[in-house]
Amino acid sequence: MPAQWEDKNKPHRNIVFVGHVDHGKSTTVGRLLLDSGHIEEHVIEKNEKLAVEAGKAGFGLAYVMDGLKEERERGITIDVAHKEFFTPKYYWTIIDAPGHRDFVKNMITGASQADTAVLLCAANDGVNAQTKEHAFLAKVLGVKELIVHVNKMDISGVDWSEDKYKAAVDEVSQLLKMAGFGSQLDKIPMIPASSLKGDNVYKKSENTPWYNGPTLFEAIDAAAMPNKPLDKPLRLPIQDVYKISGIGTVPVGKIETGTLNSGKTVVFNPSQKSAEVKSIEMHHTIVDKAEPGDNVGFNVRGLAADEIRRGDVAGYTDSEPTFVRHDETFVGQIQLMDIPKAVSVGYTPVFHAHTAQVAIKFQDLLEKTNKNGKEANPSFLKNGDACLIRFQPMKPFAIEQMDTFPELSRFAIRDMGKTVAAGVCLKIEKK
């Protein structure tokens, strides 16, 4: 890799690659790392040999990210893989999110850590169910900067046609308007590319004389830095809790707001346990403090690993993270995007917010909005409706109000293996 870029003191950011299965996410990441000098050609050659043996010729690039044996055999991405890479301005962690629908749960945790997303859309295939789902999730989960990678421009039937590219761009633009990215559409790069061949990934392509925008690598380096909410109270959703022999309990997660300091006491809600932060580790280095956007592990004194869990949010005692108990309610605004049948009061799907997953009941339908206008206290909701709803969690649920901590107010609603709606918490009704 160009040694002049490699500097872990640069601003650190997380980027996620999302989009439909087989639209080339893993291949794109492999190509990006290879052509920018982050991995050696011989690694790809070795992977390609393995791929050919497994009957998956052409998957050598994808194998860079797909480390699990099962993934190699199935040719799909299951877990969320992490790889580091450098651009002239930034130090990035790539989170390669799975596109396969069984694995959207992992995709949610992946995207919730990222500030930038690359949405893949294959030129021959256009917008798919999953392209849709991932665009909505990226918005709900707070991704600020989006880049669209119009992949597979080289394949037969597309043949680098500017018209085919424009058709894909129109389709994606419609989707992004629906998903809430409308106001920034003119700033979102849409790159005609072939990740398999390397066109417009790191190197400018000669096959697109009609395109004068950035390559994928340039677009990633140009992504605006999100502002860090340093002046807000600490909010740190817990992704996992490890028990490490000789050290003790180590919760891991990404700081959303505020600063985590060594030596201070944090409280974990809804578990309602508190403990002193003994040490903080980031990328295998001990640090005194960490800021929004940092993925950290921190050691807490006097807490057993089973007393706190994924879905808890850590904060300081002077501004404890808010949570809704099972006998309390909150009001949220949702947009239904893929609901199989009409739903009404009593519907209890699973809500995903930051790292929490909790079953939550639709208690009162307050106001429905759709193209026919508004309706108070509707009896049911169907696809395409937006609605203001009072919700009751089945067990304690950490969530914040949009007006105080937008970072922790968003949620995705999943049922029967897919994302059916996306929403935001407006008001918490404490007892």
Each of the 431 residues of the chain gets a pLDDT tens digit; together they read 556 677 878 888 888 888 776 657 778 888 888 888 877 666 666 666 766 666 655 555 555 544 444 444 444 433 334 577 899 999 888 765 544 444 444 445 444 567 898 999 999 888 877 787 778 777 766 788 999 999 999 999 999 999 999 999 999 999 898 888 989 999 999 999 999 899 999 999 999 999 999 999 999 999 998 888 999 999 999 988 999 888 899 999 889 999 999 999 999 999 999 999 999 998 778 999 999 888 889 999 889 999 999 999 999 999 999 999 999 999 999 888 778 789 999 999 999 888 899 999 999 999 998 878 899 999 999 987 889 999 999 999 999 998 999 888 888 888 887 778 888 899 999 98
Which residue, chain included where needed, has tokens 């994808």? 62
Q: Which of 319, 337, 372 is the last residue of a domain?
A: 319
Same domain, yes or no: 309 and 332:
no
Structural domain total, the chain: 3
Domain extent for 260: 236-319
Domain co-membership, 52 together with 177:
yes
Q: For residue 253, give both structure tokens.
A: 């997660």
337 occurs within a structural domain: yes
Domain C-terminal end among 284, 319, 354: 319
In this structure, is residue 383 part of a structural domain? Answer: yes
Query: Are 361 and 272 part of one and the same domain?
Result: no
Q: Are residues 252 and 390 in the same domain?
A: no
Say which residue the tokens 């959303």 belong to. 256
Whether residue 295 sits in one domain with residue 199: no
Nearest C-alpha neighbor of 347 from the set 356, 384, 336, 367: 336
What's the CATH code of the domain at 31?
A: 3.40.50.300
* Boundary of a domain, candidates 319, 342, 372: 319
User: Are 81 and 37 found together in one domain?
Assistant: yes
Q: 212 and 63 in one domain?
A: yes
| Residue 199, in any domain of the structure | yes
My answer on whether 287 and 217 are in the same domain is: no
Q: Are residues 310 and 335 in the same domain?
A: no
Work out whether strand 116-122 and strand 145-151 pair parallel, antiparallel, or are unpaired. parallel
CA distances to 130, 332, 371, 401, 423 from 365, rounded to whole Å, are 28, 10, 18, 19, 14
Going along 182-263, which residue ranges are E strands?
A: 190-192, 236-244, 248-254, 260-261
